[in-house]
Chains A and B, each alone.
Chain A
Amino acid sequence: MLSQELNDRITRVGPRTPAGGVLRQYWQPAALVDQLDSTFPVPVNLLGEHLAIIKNDGGDLLLATRQTATDEPTNHHPKSQDITILADQPSYPVLVKAGIVFAYMGPGVPPELPNFDCFRAPDSHSFAFKGLWQCNWLQALEIGIDPAHASFLHRFLEDDDPDDSYGKQFRDKAADTNIPMTKILREYPRPQIEVEETDFGLKITALRHMEQDLTHVRVTNQIFPEAICIPMSREMTITQWHVPIDDENCYWFTIFTSFKNPVNKELMREQRLKEHRLPDYAPLKNKANQYHYDPDEQANMTYTGMGLDINVHDQWAVEGMGAIQDRTQEHLGRSDVAIIRYRRMLRKAMQALEEGRIDELPMYGIDNLQKIIGPLSNDAIADSGNWKEASWEYDMARRAECPWNANVHT
């Protein structure tokens, strides 16, 4: 369990905070391209600052500071005509990539974006969305780097037809088998978790040892400072940032990347707009309505009784910890190994930044960020003695068949 001081240090992200300083060294999702219609400015609340996307005289996008009332609610979305830009306050460069408007709020020249799959895929094979979670960014990230919880929080007592799994996490078959992922997670709930540091953050491998000397291998990734890259299905990955609005609210921003068929954006958008309201992308299932909890469903279908969308399960879990998780009463166990490794990276980065050693931050001190590619993120089932090679081979096979250039050979 951490002291309040240590907990504040890793959670609070306003200007001039240690963790906020680290996050500001990296491009942060600010808005979806979907939010940019012809009406500017577009309000953005990010890292404790009240901002707006504007078009400057040259027609380029910029993130500028907007005027706010002192009692403005956290996620207030003023109408464009009500926004006043403060020209003498900070403004930040933006770039548009993969359906997301990214902003750089740090000092000096912005870094390049790494060459991850989500940034390499063409528009036809990419879809972006976002959603509001009313909790601190760190607990939102930490659920994404915990491979063990999926066997419980996202447990389905029955397995649906994987052919009806489009756009849905954990509803596909596992690797090249006919075994639904939901069955794997349900019947093998105690993964062995391996964590490695990488150029971009962490590679997290969850091994579920099965009968007949087989192992299910699920590879996910933590992309420093606050993103994850995880498999969604055999053909899609999710790259998801947990972006602070302020210390008590965050947006998840997700890029869905397809390695096979073009993304059915209409269906993906329709699925998600059924669950979120505009313009603030707040989820329709929330604490106020108990996440539509149904005890009959819990008795017969799902662990949580909160529907079939696993995003709602995660939302309930992280919002249930409170606005900022009280880690003074926390007890981490051995399955929290990725969380332990991540917090260590974050603390090391904060100290390095405070001491002026910026090159020690992940993805700094590298001469060419375009060399950072991938990452490998998939599910595979293999002989237990060969799981690492099998996971790699499965990734290479998918890339070889990918209609766009997903090659990772240098």
Chain B
Amino acid sequence: MSPLHLTPVAAEIFDDIIDGYFPFAESMRQMMVRRGLRAALISLSQAPIMDIPGLAPTSPVPLRILEGTAGLIHAMQILVVRREAQISCSGTGDWRWFDRATHHETVFDPVTRLAEPALVRGIGFFQGPDEMETFGSVQFEPQSSVAIASLFKAVTAVETDLTPWRSAQAWSIHDELNQIVAFTSQDDRLCLKRQKSAAIIDGHFDLMGNCKLVLARPRSEREHVILEYLQAESL
């Protein structure tokens, strides 16, 4: 039996601008609602962030900011899943605060606000009636160029004929943690979850670990460019 079970789902390969000034998770939620997505693999980089002391997550950002801490997300790759009004963000990031004395966490707080709107690139899964663990309720679509795959065993060697798709790019998704951890984190309890990108070329690929995969094949030059960026920005 093939260790790989592949399910094409209705999806899009996209880029978008998420609004700044809201809590990070809220900006993501608004984007997901706007695009009709249930889940998305998202990459972003070079995004300024800010922490304003005493500002509740539901409060608007003040017109004039008199104090706070600034920082920058150098890179971040996350799986965002929307369930009703709730958003979970799971993945890995590399960020820094300019005042390290007060801000040096290893887990990114999703109420952190973006200090500017940010470019995001990703693979988004449209909302549908078909429940898939980790991704929520998506839409099976046999002709889709995006698939969710489950890898039932570790594949540490190059194997052939594991998938009818002859070429695709692949990202491994570990269990939804609802946390964004620093990619340098050595916390064993978190079992350091990294999303590793790979590729299927001529039916061959090399991936490690029991995991779910997102596979994507570009159908246009624009999609190809976006997937190249997702690969290049993998942590």
CA distance A334 to B45 in the complex (A): 18
Q: Within 8 Å of chain B (Cβ to Cβ): is A300?
A: no
Q: Which residues of A contact B74 (CB under 8 A)?
A: 351
Q: Which residues of A contact B198 (CB under 8 A)?
A: none
Q: Which residues of A contact B68 (CB under 8 A)?
A: 3
Q: Give the residue name and chain of the A residue nearest to B118 (CB).
A: A340
Q: Which residues of B contact A76 (CB under 8 A)?
A: none
Q: Give the residue name and chain of the B residue nearest to A346 (CB).
A: B46
Q: Within 8 Å of chain A (Cβ to Cβ): is B21?
A: yes
Chain A contact-residue range equals 20 to 34
Please report which residues of chain A, range 295-352, place their CB below 8 angstroms from some CB of chain B when the two chains form the complex.
328-329, 331-334, 336-337, 340-341, 343-344, 347-348, 351
CB distance from B189 to the nearest CB of A (A): 31
Cβ A348 vs Cβ B115 within 8 A: no
What does the 1/0 interface line of B55-77 toward A look like (CB < 8 Å)? 00000010111001010101000
Cβ A351 vs Cβ B46 within 8 A: yes
Q: Within 8 Å of chain B (Cβ to Cβ): is A96?
A: no
Please report which residues of chain B, range 3-51, place their CB below 8 angstroms from some CB of chain A when the two chains form the complex.
17, 19-21, 45-48, 50
CA distance A334 to B116 in the complex (A): 10
CA distance A329 to B50 in the complex (A): 12
What total of A-B pairs shows CB separation below 8 Å?
62
Cβ A1 vs Cβ B46 within 8 A: no
CA distance A409 to B78 in the complex (A): 40
- Known A-B contacts A331-B21, A332-B20, A351-B74; A5 and B117 likewise in contact (beta carbons under 8 Å): no
CB distance from A387 to the nearest CB of B (A): 15
- Taking a contact as CB atoms closer than 8 A, the residue among A5, A336, A343 that contacts B70 in the complex is A5
Q: Within 8 Å of chain B (Cβ to Cβ): is A36?
A: no
CA distance A340 to B45 in the complex (A): 12
Cβ B115 vs Cβ A1 within 8 A: yes
Cβ A2 vs Cβ B48 within 8 A: yes
Q: Which residues of A contact B70 (CB under 8 A)?
A: 2-3, 5-6
What does the 1/0 interface line of B98-133 toward A look like (CB < 8 Å)? 100000000000000001111100000000000000
- Taking a contact as CB atoms closer than 8 A, the residue among A2, A328, A329, A334 that contacts B19 in the complex is A334
- Known A-B contacts A1-B50, A334-B117; A348 and B45 likewise in contact (beta carbons under 8 Å): yes
Cβ B19 vs Cβ A344 within 8 A: no
Cβ B65 vs Cβ A1 within 8 A: yes
Cβ A6 vs Cβ B17 within 8 A: no
Q: Which residues of B contact A333 (CB under 8 A)?
A: 117
What does the 1/0 interface line of A1-26 toward B look like (CB < 8 Å)? 11101100000000000000000000
Cβ A340 vs Cβ B98 within 8 A: no
- Known A-B contacts A3-B98, A6-B70; A332 and B116 likewise in contact (beta carbons under 8 Å): yes
CA distance A196 to B68 in the complex (A): 33
Q: Give the residue name and chain of the A residue nearest to B229 (CB).
A: A197
CA distance A332 to B61 in the complex (A): 12
**Could you show 28 A-B contacts with beta carbons less than 8 Å apart?**
A1-B50, A1-B116, A2-B48, A2-B70, A3-B50, A3-B68, A3-B70, A3-B115, A5-B98, A6-B72, A6-B98, A6-B115, A196-B222, A197-B225, A328-B65, A329-B63, A331-B21, A331-B61, A332-B116, A334-B19, A340-B117, A340-B119, A343-B46, A344-B45, A344-B46, A344-B119, A348-B45, A351-B74
| In the complex, the 4 A-B pairs of residues with the closest C-beta atoms, listed nearest first | A3-B70, A347-B46, A344-B46, A340-B117
